[in-house]
């Protein structure tokens, strides 16, 4: 049993590339009207055009998701235009190349924490009143494997921020379940997205091909979004079968820890 997305409204942050782009296409393909947010307007316009060509509706709302005022304005616009919001895909995130304790700067830490935690927090705060009024809504947050398991790969700022996103999502369920609202946090291991370009050690095309792909995450997001109202998937931990964190290869381990 699934929930029909025809006529529903979904808002995707970080929609300009990677998981967000793939999720927007999947949700639109399932009948949802999709609102696209990201810092770069050009890729959002291109994505909206692709969605429109498929016969679905997409609205572009560019903005910095670390700006609480801009997030609030986007949600006000969604409420005015559609009168509802059924699905939030809080997917924005970033990292810095200088991520180890001996290289991380206060500005770098702030950038990472704002991009990964503050963005999800502000989006949640903005959409919850609208969803409470409906007595329905699904929040889907892209955290990370680093939100559950500590390793040197992602760096302390990213790891701390993603752990906080996991806690945030569970706390939403504790308070909002009585209002018909469900929150799901996704903890994927490596996904072949542009964020890999900021790794201190380059990731080879061969390794990227073995990782989770954006379409894999989009399929999972669509699955979560279409569960019946009485079902809450609190947390999903997902990895590629060939998990670089598990492979007993000293050379590989050195590369991961760089």
Q: Which residues participate in catalysis according to the annotation?
A: 158
Residue ranges of alpha helices (H) inside 135-229 are 156-176, 205-210, 214-225
Q: At what angle do helices 156-176 and 106-113 cross, to 10 degrees?
A: 30
Residue with tokens 């921020």: 161
HSE-up (13 A, CA, CB side) for residue 27: 32
Full strand arrangement of the beta sheet holding 235-238: 58-60, 33-37, 9-13, 87-90, 137-142, 181-188, 235-238
Tokens read off for 166: 């996991």
């Amino acid at each position: 049993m699934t929930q029909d997305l025809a006529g529903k409204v979904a808002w995707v942050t970080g929609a300009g590339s990677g998981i967000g782009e793939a999720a927007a296409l999947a949700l639109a393909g399932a009948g949802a009207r999709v609102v696209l947010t990201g810092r770069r307007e050009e890729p959002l316009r291109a994505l909206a055009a692709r969605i429109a060509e498929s016969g679905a509706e997409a609205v572009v709302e560019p903005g910095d998701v670390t700006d609480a005022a801009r997030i609030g304005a986007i949600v006000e616009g969604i409420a005015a235009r559609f009168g509802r919001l059924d699905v939030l895909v809080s997917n924005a995130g970033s990292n810095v190349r200088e991520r180890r304790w001996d290289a991380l700067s206060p500005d770098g830490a702030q950038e990472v924490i704002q991009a990964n935690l503050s963005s999800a927090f502000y989006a949640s705060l903005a959409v919850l009143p609208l969803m409470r009024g409906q007595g329905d809504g699904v929040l889907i947050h892209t955290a990370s494997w680093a939100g559950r398991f500590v390793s040197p790969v992602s760096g302390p700022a990213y790891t701390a921020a993603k752990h906080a996103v996991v806690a945030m999502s569970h706390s939403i369920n504790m308070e909002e379940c009585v209002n018909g609202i469900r929150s799901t946090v996704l903890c994927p291991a490596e996904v072949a997205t542009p964020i890999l370009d900021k790794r201190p050690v380059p990731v080879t095309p061969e390794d990227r091909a073995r990782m989770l792909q954006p379409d894999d995450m989009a399929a999972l997001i669509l699955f979560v979004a279409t569960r019946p109202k009485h079902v809450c998937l609190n947390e999903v931990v997902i990895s590629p079968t060939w998990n670089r964190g598990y492979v007993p290869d000293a050379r590989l381990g050195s590369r991961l820890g760089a």
